[in-house]
Amino acid sequence: MVDGYLDEPSCLGVPPYVSPHIRYAYGALVDLGIAPANITYVTIDAIRQERHEYIEMGCSVDAVVVIAGATVPGRYLGGRPISSREISELAVAVGPVPLILGGPIVLFQGPIPGVSLTCGEIAATSLQSILGGRPEPDGSTSESWTERIARFAVLGAELTTRHPSFPYVVCELETFRGCPRHQNCAFCSEGKKQVRYQRPVADILAEVEALANQGNRYYRLGCQSDLFLYGAKPRDGQLYPDPSMIRDLYQGIRQAAPQLEVLHMDNVNPASIMRDPEAAVEIMTAICQHNTPGDVAAFGLESADPAVLAANRVETSPEETLAAIRLMNEIGGRREEGIPRLLPGLNLLHGLIGETPQTLELNYRYLATLLEQGLLVRRINIRQVLTWGDYKAAKISPRHFQSYKEKINVEINKPMLQRVFPIGTILRGVHIEETKGQVSFGRQLGSYPILVGIPGELSLGEILTVRVIDHGYRSITALPFPFFINRASVAQLAAIPGMGRKRATKLFLAQPIQDACQLDELLEGQVDLSALLPWLDFSS
């Protein structure tokens, strides 16, 4: 079973996240009576690193199952979703062993050379049909989609222990499938989904309990188009949030996984918030009672140009989204462990039908308004729309688009990061994922965690607490906290504000430094130590 990493608007499965779809598929195989010992789980990254070994293994098995779903182009620190070319090369390499392709990728991808069989969009039930002869739910079968998914989700929990990031893996949780809106946004892939269902609270809690029993402590309610519409009730042709459903869900997750360390979320439509602000406040309050700090709700404004929103059937408006941002700041903006409990993120999409050069200016002004009004937005995601099906994206001048992004980085993103993560902020549980030269890069586990650059070469997988000392456009710079000055490298010492390379080298050569007085003497009073001393440790 190859995890090709799901990457779609309503679901993320790129490490350190693991998607529910790969877990469902694993559970479906176990449900067929296949012993876990006879199922080999491997990620596409592992195959890239040890191709010969895994190709040899693939040539001696009964079948190779690939679960994939890349419909959103993105760059990730933890991995890269499988490509059509890689799927084809793998299929040819293991032939005549059948390669079965499943997952959301089948909705958007045409025939791939070498692929023997294509599962449905819900690979788990299709696998049971192909390998076990069990019919898929279609109204004539005794079990519904949700009943099968409930069983597969519990049986598939064991897969997480085989994930290369375990136990530091974020389990993506699904509440419902498909956008419940009557009319989807013109560019969105959610409308392409043919199977739609809503999972009962009890089923999700049983899955969480099974995951917790396997040692999982990190969870994200990320696999749905709008969490606030989970359990929503129709009224006057619209869907209205039901606070009781989400309150029961969050309370239940806390009970099912009492040792959890992260409970975050993902997508919310600002229109759902403003359709019933009182209900939205109840939901936000319930979330903030049970989630963990650093949570992010991604708002899909997509454009601040009303003409573009209308042309693309986007439900929200710039004014509604601004009001929703303000409301979430009021409820979730309080800091805990140094960071806000729950903040909105903002998605802007370019190349939409009806976009003009004026659209870019409207978007910029809108973002500037957020700063002017003192609001906090954790993440501003600017990306380009994919052309698929009948949707024809507008042409964008690469030069103008790059200039626009740079302007937002300098004038919006950096000031916003300085506001969300002011100097001195303490971030706990930062996992080192990459080292480049004299800088290591890490993130906390959770929803849209900030990228942290830490001077010095740290070990991959190391987990540490850091203190923010500087800001980039989309990342921050931090040093270990507390800061052991007698164990620090020259690169780490030089990163201290006001220090510089020459003084850092002098301090490095003088280690061990006994106390603050000796430190001040070495620096000849030329560096202000007042902000530094509270987090310095002179232990050797």
What is the residue-wise DSSP string for 419-434? Answer: HHS-TT-EEEEEEEEE
Taking residue 402's Cβ as centre, other Cβ atoms within 10 Å add up to: 11
In this prediction, residue 447 carries a pLDDT of: 94
Residue 74 has pLDDT above 70, yes or no: no
Average pLDDT of the residues in 112-137: 84
> For residue 38, which amino acid is it?
N
| Cβ neighbours of residue 436 closer than 8 Å, sequence gap 6 or more | none
| Cβ neighbours of residue 37 closer than 8 Å, sequence gap 6 or more | none
Residue 266, both tokens = 């993902």
In this prediction, residue 376 carries a pLDDT of: 98
Average pLDDT of the residues in 134-149: 76
Residue 190 has pLDDT above 90, yes or no: no
Residue 338, both tokens = 């140094």
Specify the higher pLDDT residue, 58 or 75.
58
Give the whole-angstrom CA distance, residue 343 versus residue 341. 7
In this prediction, residue 488 carries a pLDDT of: 92
Superfamily, domain 264-420: tm_1862 like domain (3.80.30.20)
Condensed to tens digits (0 to 9), the pLDDT of residues 195-210 reads 888 999 999 999 999 9
Residue 165, both tokens = 């990031």
Tell me the residue length of the chain: 540
Residue 410 has pLDDT above 90, yes or no: yes
Determine the 3-state secondary structure of 28 from DSSP: helix
Q: Which helix (H) or strand (E) holds 126?
A: helix 123-132
* DSSP symbol at 316: -
Residue 72 has pLDDT above 70, yes or no: no
0.75 surpassed by pTM: yes
Condensed to tens digits (0 to 9), the pLDDT of residues 485-500 reads 999 999 999 988 888 8
Strands 197-198 and 176-177: antiparallel
Residue 290, both tokens = 């049970």
Give the whole-angstrom CA distance, residue 360 versus residue 203. 44
Residue 336 has pLDDT above 70, yes or no: yes
* Lowest-pLDDT choice from 73-82, 282-291, 401-410: 73-82
In this prediction, residue 387 carries a pLDDT of: 67
In this prediction, residue 389 carries a pLDDT of: 66
Condensed to tens digits (0 to 9), the pLDDT of residues 471-530 reads 999 999 999 999 999 999 999 999 888 888 999 999 999 999 999 999 989 988 888 877
Q: Which of 305, 315, 336 is nearest to 273 (CA)?
A: 315
Residue 92 has pLDDT above 80, yes or no: yes
Give the count of alpha carbons within 13 A of 316, CB side only.
25
Q: Which helix (H) or strand (E) holds 178?
A: none
Determine the 3-state secondary structure of 36 from DSSP: helix
531 pLDDT band, cuts 50/70/90, is confident
* DSSP symbol at 527: S
Residue 62 has pLDDT above 80, yes or no: yes
Condensed to tens digits (0 to 9), the pLDDT of residues 232-248 reads 999 988 899 999 999 99
Give the count of alpha carbons within 13 A of 243, CB side only.
14
| Buried residues in 473-504 as b, exposed as e (16+ CB within 10 A) | eebbbbbbbebebbebebbbbbbbeebeeebb
Share of the chain above pLDDT 90, in %: 73
Whether the bond into 482 is cis, omega within 30 of 0 = yes
Give the count of alpha carbons within 13 A of 143, CB side only.
12
In this prediction, residue 302 carries a pLDDT of: 95
The pLDDT mean for the chain works out to: 92
Helix axes 51-58, 84-94, angle to 10 degrees: 60
Condensed to tens digits (0 to 9), the pLDDT of residues 302-320 reads 999 999 999 999 999 999 9
375 pLDDT band, cuts 50/70/90, is very high
Residue 111 has pLDDT above 90, yes or no: no
In this prediction, residue 540 carries a pLDDT of: 80
Give the whole-angstrom CA distance, residue 113 versus residue 91. 8
Average pLDDT of the residues in 139-168: 89
Determine the 3-state secondary structure of 50 from DSSP: coil
In this prediction, residue 71 carries a pLDDT of: 59
157 pLDDT band, cuts 50/70/90, is very high
Place of tokens 């005549």: 96
141 pLDDT band, cuts 50/70/90, is low
Q: Which of 518, 529, 424, 415 is nearest to 469 (CA)?
A: 424
Share of the chain above pLDDT 70, in %: 97
Specify the higher pLDDT residue, 533 or 459.
459
Q: Which of 310, 327, 352, 312 is nearest to 272 (CA)?
A: 327
| Cβ neighbours of residue 80 closer than 8 Å, sequence gap 6 or more | 5, 14, 44, 45
In this prediction, residue 75 carries a pLDDT of: 66
Q: Which helix (H) or strand (E) holds 270?
A: helix 270-275
> Are 181 and 315 spatial neighbours (Cβ–Cβ below 8 Å)?
yes
Condensed to tens digits (0 to 9), the pLDDT of residues 381-404 reads 998 887 666 777 788 888 899 999
Taking residue 351's Cβ as centre, other Cβ atoms within 10 Å add up to: 18
Sequence spans of domains, the chain: 1-175, 264-420, 426-537
Q: What HEC string does 13-25 produce?
A: CCCCEECHHHHHH
Give the whole-angstrom CA distance, residue 373 versus residue 265. 25
